[in-house]
A and B are shown apart, each in its own frame.
Chain A
């Protein structure tokens, strides 16, 4: 049994060991054997939906290739760098949506909350002279408070979250319009902290490479220590080769990104904050008891309750996280245009944030997904938008194509869920 586990964990190493078998054998049969092992492992993975984000990455690559063929400026450092900043606002909101989707609910209020938080910041800082750092904290707390109120209502009344947050969408939007009633559009300080969020770049090339090296090193160290502990306890563990391959791949991607960003203006501060938050929240979700409870709620609310989890607490906390992330995203969106207006947080923002989470691979049925899906999803949506813009495609078509990608993602989600259950029944 242990042997089977090992094989499952690193089919590459097993397959490699097989080809290196010193016994003389017909090469054709050996190859057939390897192929069979590979496909079997592949099928198991697909069934267990451990395919991960590979399909999403392939879609992203396809989108990039298509637009690069249509316009050779698409993959220019300048455009990619702008893209990496443009995804941050929507992406941060989508991270909050991932939390809500994981417990099997939906939050429709994030657009309004992002606008409300941005308006709160602008009114406090610009109109009332509150110091910027304090205004930022208060604006984030506005988001947290709005989310907490909604979460508590959902948990206590058991009204589905999408209804509660639909009411929230209107309420928070009304509140924002009320706050902005006298000023209409408020322009932010061009040199202020919030404006810097999306306008500051680390022009020192070393920063981007340093971050890439740090990330790859950290991942390697964690995997390596995990492997050593598992080995010591006699548990199945990844081979060094597999750890090396994974970290190597990550390092290649990270350094390539750093190289491209350095060829424009360097690492954008916005991207660094975004990735740090996504990485941090990923650790919270997958490595802490709180995160385990979030997944458990999405896997079966009754089962979670019987395991003596506090459903009220988890639901409230999850919507508080999504409200807070909406506020963070709202500040980045305001920073991008250095102004807050009555249209902040409206329009397609909400839909794009939800679409980003789903396209990135977070399940609509709850219990499956990671914060990284927000990054991938936002990247795909923004790539389409950016590509359409530089190829002068009408916005109508952009909506249709984004809609098509979202539909495809939802179908894949439903199919992988069904295949999992069918496998379980067998």
Chain B
């Protein structure tokens, strides 16, 4: 192995009470690579994203950053590594304006006070690059449309030049034009060497954009696919469980219970 992957998950497990939501998850994301994370509802995709982001840390297992095991116990830890996340529920503060949300937790200061002018300028510059149709930067986010809010969440994740971007269904509430804007953006980020983990239900998008696809089923890995060579049917079969790519799954579960 020449260069270790930027991010690697080794044997990630997490349980909520008696429910094993993630079991022995393996995953690698390299710099300049888009990995699609696929799976049916309840497969554990969002839970995995939250584990990487430090919001709901894994119970056991190792997260490696450039080949080195790193502890991610809090959102802070992930952020400092350069991991940025767009959550499915966006995790925006509705009462704060666009600028406030973008910089939340890392406000630009000037003599100890908030430097609103500088923050607004950076917000404007970033949003102008990302998308057409700039929202009112000083409007509380709750008054924006869901598409605009999605763009705010995406903009926030890009503000500090992340090295890994976790996107949990980033195009779910976007219209046609905005969706293609976001997909172009992901493409562009890959070219700049950012590693992207993209959760999506849209096989066409995944085929068009991702380099590899990792499928989760019932909290376990259920196959890795090269999206250029794998057929759509193969991936769908892994998602629905028609093919079992991890042996002894049921046996394992009986032990756990």
Specify which chain A residues have a CB less than 8 angstroms from the CB of B120 in the assembled complex.
Answer: 230, 235
Question: Counting CB contacts under 8 A, is B104 at the interface?
Answer: yes
CB contacts under 8 Å to B, within A273-304, are: 283, 287-289, 292, 295-296, 298-300, 302-304
A420–B142 contact, CB under 8 A?
A: yes
> Among B95, B109, B112, B124, which residue has its beta carbon within 8 angstroms of that of A235?
B124
* Interface residues in B, total, Cβ within 8 A: 39
Specify which chain B residues have a CB less than 8 angstroms from the CB of A283 in the assembled complex.
Answer: 113
How far does the alpha carbon of A256 sit from the alpha carbon of B145 in the complex, in Å? 44
How far does the alpha carbon of A426 sit from the alpha carbon of B92 in the complex, in Å? 18
CB contacts under 8 Å to B, within A26-59, are: 47-48
- Among the stretches B1-9, B132-140, B185-193, the one at the interface with A is B132-140
* Contacts A305-B55, A308-B74; A295 near B124 (Cβ below 8 A): no
Q: Give 1 or 0 for each of B55-99: 1 = CB within 8 Å of chain A CB.
A: 100000000000000000011100100000101000111111000
Q: From DSSP, what is the main secondary structure of chain A's interface residues? A: helix
A296–B104 contact, CB under 8 A?
A: yes
B113–A229 contact, CB under 8 A?
A: no
How far does the alpha carbon of A13 sit from the alpha carbon of B213 in the complex, in Å? 56
* Contacts A308-B79, A309-B105; A288 near B113 (Cβ below 8 A): yes
**CB proximity of B138 to chain A, nearest CB, Å:** 8
> Among A1, A298, A308, A420, which residue has its beta carbon within 8 angstroms of that of B105?
A308
Question: Counting CB contacts under 8 A, is A396 at the interface?
Answer: no
Specify which chain B residues have a CB less than 8 angstroms from the CB of A246 in the assembled complex.
Answer: none
Question: Counting CB contacts under 8 A, is B27 at the interface?
Answer: no
A424–B91 contact, CB under 8 A?
A: no
**CB proximity of B131 to chain A, nearest CB, Å:** 12
* Contacts A296-B104, A308-B75; A303 near B91 (Cβ below 8 A): yes
Specify which chain B residues have a CB less than 8 angstroms from the CB of A263 in the assembled complex.
Answer: none
A368–B109 contact, CB under 8 A?
A: no
A289–B143 contact, CB under 8 A?
A: no
Specify which chain B residues have a CB less than 8 angstroms from the CB of A421 in the assembled complex.
Answer: 142
B95–A230 contact, CB under 8 A?
A: no
A230–B117 contact, CB under 8 A?
A: yes
Specify which chain A residues have a CB less than 8 angstroms from the CB of B249 in the assembled complex.
Answer: none
A288–B112 contact, CB under 8 A?
A: yes
How far does the alpha carbon of A298 sit from the alpha carbon of B100 in the complex, in Å? 13
A306–B143 contact, CB under 8 A?
A: no
A301 and chain B: residue at smallest CB distance: B93
A300–B93 contact, CB under 8 A?
A: yes
Specify which chain B residues have a CB less than 8 angstroms from the CB of A426 in the assembled complex.
Answer: 145
A289–B107 contact, CB under 8 A?
A: yes
* Interface residues in A, total, Cβ within 8 A: 38
How far does the alpha carbon of A48 sit from the alpha carbon of B100 in the complex, in Å? 16
Question: Counting CB contacts under 8 A, is A233 at the interface?
Answer: yes
Q: Give 1 or 0 for each of A390-426: 1 = CB within 8 Å of chain B CB.
A: 0000000000000000000000000000001101111
How far does the alpha carbon of A235 sit from the alpha carbon of B76 in the complex, in Å? 31
Question: Counting CB contacts under 8 A, is B53 at the interface?
Answer: yes
Question: Counting CB contacts under 8 A, is A226 at the interface?
Answer: yes
* Contacts A47-B143, A48-B139; A233 near B121 (Cβ below 8 A): yes
A298 and chain B: residue at smallest CB distance: B95
Question: Counting CB contacts under 8 A, is B237 at the interface?
Answer: no
Specify which chain A residues have a CB less than 8 angstroms from the CB of B87 in the assembled complex.
Answer: 306
> Among A48, A233, A303, A424, which residue has its beta carbon within 8 angstroms of that of B93?
A303
**CB proximity of A369 to chain B, nearest CB, Å:** 10
Across the A-B interface, the 7 shortest Cβ-Cβ residue pairs: A299-B93, A367-B95, A299-B95, A307-B105, A308-B76, A308-B75, A303-B91
Given contacts A235-B117, A298-B95, A306-B85, 5 further A-B contacts (CB under 8 A): A289-B107, A289-B109, A292-B104, A296-B100, A306-B55
A residues lining the B interface (CB < 8 Å): 1, 5, 8, 47-48, 226, 229-230, 233-235, 283, 287-289, 292, 295-296, 298-300, 302-309, 366-368, 420-421, 423-426
A-B contact pairs, 19 of them (CB 8 A): A1-B134, A5-B136, A8-B136, A226-B117, A234-B121, A235-B120, A292-B104, A296-B93, A296-B96, A296-B104, A300-B93, A302-B91, A303-B93, A306-B75, A307-B104, A309-B105, A367-B93, A420-B142, A424-B143
